[in-house]
Structure 1
Amino acid sequence: MPEKVVPGPISEDRSIREAVCIHTRKIFDSCRDKDCVEDLRVYPTRCSQEVIDRAQSIKAGTAELLYAYIDVEPITFNRGFYTVDVRYFYRITADAFVGAARPVQVCGLAVFCKRAVLFGSESGSKSFTSEGGENQVQCVPQSNLPTAVVEAVDPLILNLKLVDVCECRPCDCGCVDIPMAVAACFGDELVTGGDQHRVFVTLGQFSIIRMERDTQLLIPAYDYCIPTKDCSCDNDRCQEDPCDLFRQVQFPVDEFFPPNTITTTSSASSNVCGSCCR
């Protein structure tokens, strides 16, 4: 009986069953980046701004990536290439120290914009499916743009500082076009002016941007993918002793002892990027 084919490297003794044409998204171009975004202005909530105006110092907390807005536009002088404009929205938390009292947690919004240029090929076709129904007219653009996908993790706070309004840079303008879903994450009005103290944050952001387009590919097929896991739950398995299950769990050594080495991530950057305020 031949060896069962599983996903992974293919040896020479495994024969291809048939060639299959599938419809999927092909990645035409991609890039990775490690951005050090300096001095992003933080727009606090109304309650947080009242605390910041009375604060003597501030300590960094956490940064959470809430949303990334993506816009794709073709480059007229370079066929097949597109600009990908990404706007990241972050929730920044910090501890503000007012006098000798315990620190008060404050939060606000920070925005970072960057641009990448990637190859996405060309296609003049329009796609229609039967899922919309005859009563629903599908509005499609004249040119079939590729799809830009951005993968990013929560950034690292590298620095956080508290400054007087008179010390702010001339280009420090108000933040506009905040999506309603992002503003709703704070539960309070965001302050963009009329403040005495302002907070600026420096973030470290890791991201991957790729350009995808729907296409048909011819791939080798070996057999149908049949599930091997049993869905049934007999009495013996469902009533198994919980202590026996616990004994099968491996001891979490890493939770008790720090690692001897730390794995770092290297990246090559070739994108055009910048802060929200140039």
Structure 2
Amino acid sequence: MSINFKKFVPRPGLVNKQGRLPDPAELVCIEVPKVFDQCLIKRCLVYCEGPDTETTDCELRSDPLINPKRYISSRDFKITLLSVDKIPLKKDHGFKKIILNYIISFYADYIDCDGRTKSEFYEINRTDVIGKFYCPDSISQSTTTLEEEPYDNNLIKLEMVADVLHGEILKDDHGDEVLDVTLGYYIVVKCELVVQLLIPAYDYCPVPRVPCKEEPEDDPCEVFEKSPVPKFYPDQNLDPLFNDPENSDKDDLD
């Protein structure tokens, strides 16, 4: 059964059934970064003096603190790629050994003995080596009217999810109170190459017909009056007094 294109309104959305879309209006050529290879770096780092390893980092200790009481949490994680070295592998065409140098920075919040919240800034410099990574060079060379030098459309991209898993206030060898943190993070390393892709398209995305809505400010007392009475106590974590016969029969069969 053919689909009436006039009744079809092209817009972003989920495609949940085959045969619901008409034939595309045209094939278009777009220029986008395409991922040629990717891998995952997973690290759990604790403080330790000396050279950095895969499990330790000497920059995960704060400067001396004044009357700290308790670590709270960490925030504003950021990753900055400083340099990338690509060493071609002679036996594997298109593959390279990648040496990454990057910085992870974040803030750790703690409470001092006077009840004030303070922050300590951390910045750790890391180097990771990927022994074999498919990162082919672009065959063509590109430039734009805004650049004097050729544009490198072969990109190494880092995406990170990080969190401080543990924070502890203790005294160092000099008797100063410091904050040691345990940092856990995931980094996805991607090799991207700007390419031209031929894709089916319907048209330009239409201008939305629905105007932007402004949410009226609610009266807090009216919201409070309409709200249900909250639970005064948490749920109890209790074991059942009697065994469920159905579950007990299944256990006997197991």
**Corresponding residue for 1:218?**
198
**Structure 2 counterpart of 1:128, which letter?**
T
Post-superposition shift, 1:216?
Answer: 0.5
Contact in 2 for aligned 1:96/1:105 (Cα 8 Å): yes
Tell me the alpha carbon deviations over residues 53-80 of structure 1, each in whole angstroms, 9 at most, x when there is no partner: x66x653432431442342221232543
CA distance in 1, matches of 2:46, 2:97: 27
Tell me the alpha carbon deviations over residues 213-249 of structure 1, each in whole angstroms, 9 at most, x when there is no partner: 1111111122332223345x8xxx88x9767xxx9xx
Tell me the SS of whatever aligns to 2:38: strand
**Structure 2 counterpart of 1:113, which letter?**
R
**Corresponding residue for 1:86?**
102
Count of residue pairs the alignment pairs up: 202
Identical-residue share of aligned pairs (%): 19
Greater relative contact order: 1 or 2 (C-alpha under 8 angstroms, separation 6 or more)?
Answer: 1
Distance 1:111 1:127, change over 3 A: same
CA distance in 2, matches of 1:158, 1:122: 42
**Structure 1 counterpart of 2:204, which letter?**
Y
Alignment partner of 1:111 out of 124, 129, 133: 124
Alignment partner of 1:11 out of 14, 18, 32: 18
Larger Rg: 2
**What is the TM-score with the length of structure 2 in the denominator?**
0.61
**Corresponding residue for 1:206?**
186
Alignment of 1:25-36 (within 5 A): 25-36=33-44
Distance 1:138 1:165, change over 3 A: farther
**Corresponding residue for 1:147?**
155
Provide structure 2 residue ranges, at least 5 long, that are not aligned to the other structure.
48-56, 236-254
Distance 1:140 1:43, change over 3 A: farther
Post-superposition shift, 1:113?
Answer: 1.7
**Structure 1 counterpart of 2:110, which letter?**
A
Alignment of 1:112-131 (within 5 A): 112-115=125-128, 117=130, 118-130=133-145
Tell me the alpha carbon deviations over residues 9-68 of structure 1, each in whole angstroms, 9 at most, x when there is no partner: 3734621222211111111122344432222434646xxx351xx66x653432431442
CA distance in 2, matches of 1:6, 1:124: 35
CA distance in 2, matches of 1:214, 1:114: 26
**What is the TM-score with the length of structure 1 in the denominator?**
0.56
CA distance in 2, matches of 1:50, 1:223: 60
Distance 1:59 1:68, change over 3 A: same
CA distance in 1, matches of 2:18, 2:164: 43
CA distance in 1, matches of 2:41, 2:194: 25
Tell me the SS of whatever aligns to 2:22: coil
Contact in 2 for aligned 1:44/1:109 (Cα 8 Å): yes
**Structure 1 counterpart of 2:206, which letter?**
I
Provide structure 1 residue ranges, at least 5 long, that are not aligned to the other structure.
167-194, 261-278
CA distance in 2, matches of 1:211, 1:72: 11
Alignment of 1:1-278 (within 5 A): 1-2=4-5, 3-4=7-8, 5-7=10-12, 8-9=14-15, 11-12=18-19, 14-39=22-47, 40=57, 41-42=59-60, 44=62, 49=64, 51=66, 58-77=70-89, 78=92, 79-83=94-98, 84-97=100-113, 102=115, 105-115=118-128, 117=130, 118-130=133-145, 132=146, 138-140=148-150, 144=152, 146-165=154-173, 196-230=176-210
Post-superposition shift, 1:104?
Answer: 6.3
Distance 1:76 1:94, change over 3 A: same
**Structure 2 counterpart of 1:22, which letter?**
I
